[in-house]
Amino acid sequence: MQREHQKFVTELGDWHRSHSCGQLTINNDGEDVCLMGWVQYRRDHGGLIFVDLRDRDGLTQIVFSPDIAPAAHENAHILRSEYVLAVKGKVRPRPDGMINANMVTGQIEIVAYEWKLLNTSKTPPFPIEDRSDAGENLRLTWRYLDLRRPRMQANLRLRHKVSQAARCYLDDNGFTEVETPVLTKSTPEGARDFLVPSRLNNGEFFALPQSPQLFKQLLMVAGMERYFQIVRCFRDEDLRADRQPEFTQVDLEMSFADEEQVMGIAEGLMARVFKDVMGKELALPFPRMPWDEAMARYGVDKPDTRFGLELVDLTEIVRGSGFKLFATAQLVKGMKVPGGESMTRKEIDAFTEFVKIYGAQGLAWIKIKADEWQSPIAKFLSDEERKGIAEALDLQIGDIVFFQAGEPSMVNAALGNLRVHLGNHLKLIPENSFNFLWVTDFPLYEYNEEDKRYVACHHPFTSPAPGHMELMVTDPAKARARAYDMVLNGCEVGGGSIRIHSGEVQRRMFEALGFTPEQAEEQFGFLIQALDLGAPPHGGLAFGLDRLVMLLTSSPSIRDVIAFPKTQKATCLMTDAPSTVSSRQLRELGLRLREVPGAEQKKDGAAADKA
């Protein structure tokens, strides 16, 4: 059909758009206008034909009338969804009773006197409208059509505004935007690198940066004093709703600054973004919470402080309990849900399944009834223990308490995540609220079971807390870092630290991480050398732009705020990347594949070689 209609397609010629499709109101009554856009809906009455024309700004109703402009009406019946149209006509008020209150432009319509078909369109694989619930595979395959939807356009435009606000704010505060290499050196710490083979240096590889960390520190050594960049970062790890292999950071670094100054700049930046983009005033400064307290009260290092349900440590209260699980556990915690006594067995079973994800064996619970504690475990608890638990949790009749006992990391993960799950399930989270929180005093290290060694909790360039230098070697688990995360609604949106600016300290850090001096020199020699050449004290922070915009747009995934995201398997359904390359390309790079793709079938077996 659209092929037949091709013959109606004409050039733009000297037509110029006078207004957008979201712009015209009753105030433009009588004006001659020219609109251009896509056909959203057509309503062909045989006589009158209505077309809702869409551009990035909105919808405007066009009327093709055989009485007023027969020439314009003659062929208008060919118009179909997503045809590209230019219309010249006159703005007029809609007749009495025909006003559409749901449309910004609903008081008026354009009577078409002349129009040009600029292009036809095949029937799109899914309708271009916000209420369309096309599957994600379709949306990603036809991404440019998905991006035509107003919702996605609004997301990208809001993202742009956030970037813009950040740029202006940082510029106002004396930061210089500096670009850093995308082809850089692979470093062993942290996430997996994306590697790029070097044609001019066969057998050697660049890595795409996991972040510009080292370069921004070197810019401080270079005397830039205040640097920022809105920069792509790459990490070859498994994806999540809030994790893509390439993502964007608003990255900044400051010389001669301590935590207070970095956090102050970061708060100011957020305030500017919220004011410019959301029209909201943020209360500064943001509340702060040491990491220990966050773990104790919320079980996670990024607490969602929009609702209660805090965790309470009961370990000591049940230390000598007849309930062996509690008595012997390294950590026992409880979480009270006020009014939760009405929960059904089915609900509780679902919560039990939920916590098993985090390694919990089960989920103990007690319903506080008027006359008894109803619970599978109540009979194991002494009166004294009951009293202690009741006091610690301030129990009231009608509550339910969930318990978790065992390995501290499991207990915290299970209850901490159950807390968030319950917050959603019980609708305890107020809509349109933005709760910022700084989490401070992070551990310097965490123990990595796989490698049997301590690894940097933040990154290996993070300065230990004052007085914790000795602990780096003597008791690494106790050492604290000068690191801070900015948490928004339970989501980590930013993180940073005061860096090590002494070559000597940096050498000790690598030593503590198990590097030999030779390894440290080989991997990070250029950094250590720079620190030895007059590096100023410095620190900084990076925001996850995608996550921030995801929260500001209430999107369920960062894919909805990235123009061309990857699938969970890190592929692009639109371009079919990644894909194989020619043997010639490989040869130039000095590479040979150990396994030849295509030997096993890539998709559906349709084109697969049966050999």
Cβ within 8 Å of residue 61, ≥6 positions away: 50, 51, 52, 53, 94, 100, 103, 105, 106, 108, 109, 110
Q: What's the token pair of residue 71?
A: 């020439």
Q: Among residues 164, 173, 186, 567, which is the contact residue for RNA, using CB under 7 A?
A: 567
Closest CA to 177 of 261, 251, 256: 251
Of 422-481, binders to RNA (CB under 7 A) are 449-450, 455-460
State the virtual CA torsion across 304, 306, 309, 315 in degrees, nearest 10. 40
Amino acid at position 455, single letter: V
Residue ranges in 122-206 assigned as alpha helix (H): 136-141, 143-146, 150-172
Q: How many helices (H) and strands (E) does the chain have?
A: 17, 22
By CB under 7 A, name the one of 6, 75, 137, 433 that touches RNA.
137
CA-to-CA distance for 263 and 289, rounded, in angstroms?
A: 13
- Minimum CB separation from RNA for residue 605, in Å? 4
Contact status: 330 vs RNA (CB under 7 A):
no
Q: Figure out which of the listed residues 67, 179, 595, 609 binds RNA, where binding follows CB under 7 A.
A: 67
Phi, psi of 113 (to 5 degrees): -105, -25
Residues in the chain: 611
Q: Of the ranges 102-110, 370-378, 464-472, 589-597, which one interacts with RNA (CB under 7 A)?
A: 102-110
**Residue 123 interacts with RNA (CB under 7 A)?**
yes
Given candidates 103, 282, 348, 505, which one binds RNA under the rule CB under 7 A?
103
Residue 164 interacts with RNA (CB under 7 A)? no
* Residues between 310 and 329 with contacts to RNA, criterion CB under 7 A: none
With respect to RNA, which residue has the nearer C-beta, 174 or 359? 359
Site for RNA (CB under 7 A): which residue of 8, 15, 34, 80?
80
Q: Is 189 in the site for RNA (CB under 7 A)?
A: yes
Three-class SS of 376-417? CCHHHCCHHHHHHHHHHHCCCCCCEEEEEEECHHHHHHHHHH
Count of residues that bind RNA according to CB under 7 A = 83
Of the candidate spans 61-69, 428-436, 544-552, 576-584, the one that interacts with RNA by CB under 7 A turns out to be: 61-69
Check residue 135 for interaction with RNA (CB under 7 A).
yes
CB of 601 to RNA, least distance (A): 6
CA 429 – CA 420 distance, rounded (Å): 9
Least distance in angstroms from the C-beta of 387 to RNA? 35
Cα 177 from Cα 170, distance rounded (Å): 9
292 near RNA, judged by CB under 7 A: no
Looking at the Cβ atoms of 46 and 534, the one nearer to RNA is 46
Q: Which stretch binds RNA (CB under 7 A): 282-290, 302-310, 320-328, 565-573?
A: 565-573
**Is residue 121 part of the contact set for RNA (CB under 7 A)?**
no
Between 190 and 423, name the residue whose CB sits nearer to RNA.
190
Query: Beta partners for 495?
Result: 485, 542
- For RNA, which is the closer residue by CB, 520 or 573? 573
583 binds RNA (CB under 7 A): no
Question: In the complex with RNA, which residue's Cβ is closer, 100 or 164?
Answer: 100
Task: Please identify, using beta-carbon distances, which residue of 67 and 371 lies nearer to RNA.
Answer: 67
> Does 210 participate in binding RNA (rule CB under 7 A)?
yes
Q: Which of residues 236-275 bind RNA (CB under 7 A)?
A: 237-243
Span 31-60, contacts to RNA by CB under 7 A: 41-48, 50, 52
Q: Of 390 and 573, which CB lies nearer to RNA in the complex structure?
A: 573
Question: Does 132 interact with RNA (rule: CB under 7 A)?
Answer: yes
Closest separation between CB of residue 362 and RNA, Å? 16
Query: Which of 16, 131, 594, 610 is the binder for RNA (CB under 7 A)?
Result: 131
Q: Is 106 in the site for RNA (CB under 7 A)?
A: yes
Closer residue to RNA (CB): 90 or 161: 90
> Least distance (Å) from RNA to the CB of residue 29?
14
For residue 299, the minimal CB distance to RNA (Å) is 12
Q: Are 481 and 458 in contact (CB under 8 A)?
A: yes
Q: Is 30 left (phi over 0), alpha (psi -120 to 50) or beta?
A: left
Nearer to RNA, 212 or 334 (CB): 212
Number of Cβ atoms within 10 Å of the Cβ of 187: 17
Alpha-carbon distances of 141 from 172, 325, 556, 577, 600, rounded to whole Å: 41, 51, 19, 12, 23
Rounded to an integer, what is the distance from CA 284 to the centroid of its chain? 23
Local structure of residue 341 (DSSP, 8 states): G
Tell me: does residue 136 bind RNA (CB under 7 A): yes
Q: Mention every residue, 6+ apart, whose C-beta is less than 8 A from residue 237.
A: 191, 192, 243, 245
Stretch that binds RNA, among 263-271, 280-288, 315-323, 354-362 (CB under 7 A): 354-362
Least Å distance, CB 489 to RNA, is 14
63 binding RNA? (CB under 7 A): yes
Tokens representing 87? 């219309």
The span from the CA of 331 to the CA of 313, in Å, is 7
Region 381-410 residues binding RNA, contact defined as CB under 7 A: none
Comparing CA positions, the residue from 46, 490, 22, 108 lying closest to residue 301 is 490
Q: Which is nearer to RNA, 44 or 177 (CB)?
A: 44
User: Nearest CA to 153 among 561, 566, 564, 575?
Assistant: 561
DSSP line for 492-531: EEEEEEEBP--HHHHHHHHHHTT--HHHHHHHHHHHHHHH
- Residue choice 557, 574, 586, 588 for contact with RNA (CB under 7 A): 557
The answer to whether 571 contacts RNA (rule: CB under 7 A) is yes
Question: What's the min distance (Å) between Cβ of 136 and RNA?
Answer: 4
* Nearest-approach distance from CB 284 to RNA, in angstroms: 27
Assigned token pair, 83: 């045809």
Does position 191 bind RNA by CB under 7 A? yes
Stretch of 123-131, 432-440, 503-511, 543-551 lying at the interface with RNA (CB under 7 A): 123-131
Q: Which of residues 11-30 bind RNA (CB under 7 A)?
A: none
DSSP 99: -
Among 19, 54, 149, 235, contact with RNA (rule: CB under 7 A): 235
Helix (H/G/I), strand (E/B), else coil: 95: coil
